[in-house]
Amino acid sequence: MILNRLNAYVQNGDIAGGSILVRKKGEIVSLEYAGFADIARGIPVREESVFRLASMSKPVAAASIMLLVQEGKIDISDPLYKYLPEFSGLCVGVREENGRIASVKLNRPVTIEDLLRHRSGMGHGEISASFGVNEIQSGMTLKERAEAIARCPLDFQPGAEAGYSALTAFDVLGRVVEVVSGKKFEAFLQEKFFAPLSMADTTFFPNEDQKKRLVRLYDRTGGTLADSYKPDEIKSPFLFSYPSGSAGLFGTLSDYDKFVQMLAGRGKKILTDETLCQMTVPDQSHMSEIGAWGLGMHVFNRRSVSARALSQNTFGWSGAFGTHFYIDPVNDVTVTLMVNRMDIGGSSSYVSSGMEEAVFEALKLREV
């Protein structure tokens, strides 16, 4: 049933190809590959295929922050400016009737927790966008990126709302990791997560071999898939010049599954059970029918409430190009899905929700 659904998406031209790994109680119950990594060259999706993880970089960045919390080097209630003084002058931008944007003082400082829970007001809407918060320059460093973000007003008061900071908050968190640890963000992740978990193909900067295994990026125009890979456009393939904790990682299905197993409390212990539990507590002050933000990932409501084929307190997240993962603690199931399509809708991808349904039905899972 799971492979049939994945194959159907390929045959219908919804995706060029994809792969999925499903575990029950830690054991693989479904490992499937379908379709093509490169349609024109006839290269199938395989175990070694490298995908753009996009926003599935965020849980990795969150884990790095929580490791520093675990080590007593950070408290999530700390103000951001404690680590990055350039953020001490933040303000909220408010558009007036004449169209001008007025600066309003913060009711309280932005905290590390605000960034993790997407409630900082940083990079959430048109006010900050109009000040260039999403403008990413070729060649810029993570330090320069954070300094540029600090010059932009917030879209709302910290904690007043919850939205989605697509390209901003988790870049800032990556810079916090650098300042606190004294290591480059990519080096910190390599030392603390990628090497211990044997995630050999997970990187911000693919080498020549990994580039050869990188799946093409398609969009669906007029019902037909078209290759939209544009190597000269930095935001198209997400080949940032700096290690973007928001969207910059590349990796394979098997690599990300290792990270997912760590989040599920299996395999090599990097984060303690207490830390993992803390990450998956939803923000009750900003709960919706779908669920609420935990620390770096979304925590979902049960199927009958969220309209997703998920059990209560399932947590995970998605990437802009269709990558998707979730951990279902009720049924002890983990799912990792790899797809790369430019216009698939990220967290709202119908392919992701369809594969959730296929897993739920195939494994005869319980809602609560």
Residue range 2-27, pLDDT digits in tens: 999 999 999 999 999 999 999 999 99
- For residue 47, the model assigns a pLDDT of 98
* Helix residue ranges per DSSP H, 76-168: 112-116, 126-130, 142-150
- CA dist 308 and 292 (Å) reads 14
- CA dist 206 and 313 (Å) reads 34
Under a CB-based contact definition with an 8 Å cutoff, are residues 216 and 38 in contact?
yes
- For residue 229, the model assigns a pLDDT of 73
Q: Is the pLDDT of residue 323 over 70?
A: yes
Q: Is the pLDDT of residue 138 over 90?
A: no
CATH ID of 63-186, from 3.50.40.10, 3.40.605.10, 3.40.710.10, 3.90.960.10? 3.40.710.10
The pLDDT of 174-195, averaged and rounded, is 98
Q: By C-alpha distance, which of 116, 45, 10, 61 is closest to 243?
A: 61
Largest pairwise CA distance in the chain: 61
Instruction: Mark residue 73 as left, alpha or beta (left: phi above 0; alpha: psi -120 to 50; beta: remaining).
Output: alpha
- For residue 85, the model assigns a pLDDT of 98
Residue range(s) in the chain whose domain bears CATH number 3.40.710.10: 2-51+207-362, 63-186
111 forms beta bridges with: 79
As a whole number, the mean pLDDT across the chain is: 95
Query: Looking at residue 134, what DSSP letter applies?
Result: T
More confident: 77 or 233: 77
Q: Is the dihedral of CA 339, 343, 345, 350 positive or negative?
A: negative
Q: Is the pLDDT of residue 235 over 70?
A: no
Across 226-240, 252-266, 298-312, the highest mean pLDDT is recorded for 252-266
Q: Cα Rg for the chain, rounded, in angstroms?
A: 20
- Judge: domain 2-51+207-362, CATH 3.40.980.10: no
At 58-75, the pLDDT tens digits run 999 999 999 999 999 999
The pLDDT of 281-309, averaged and rounded, is 94
Q: How confident is the model at residue 238 (pLDDT cuts 50, 70, 90)?
A: low
- For residue 234, the model assigns a pLDDT of 42
At 140-155, the pLDDT tens digits run 999 999 999 999 999 9
Q: Is the pLDDT of residue 325 over 80?
A: yes
Q: Is the pLDDT of residue 311 over 90?
A: yes
The pLDDT of 240-253, averaged and rounded, is 96
Structure tokens at 181: 């640890």
* Prediction pTM value: 0.97
The pLDDT of 94-120, averaged and rounded, is 95
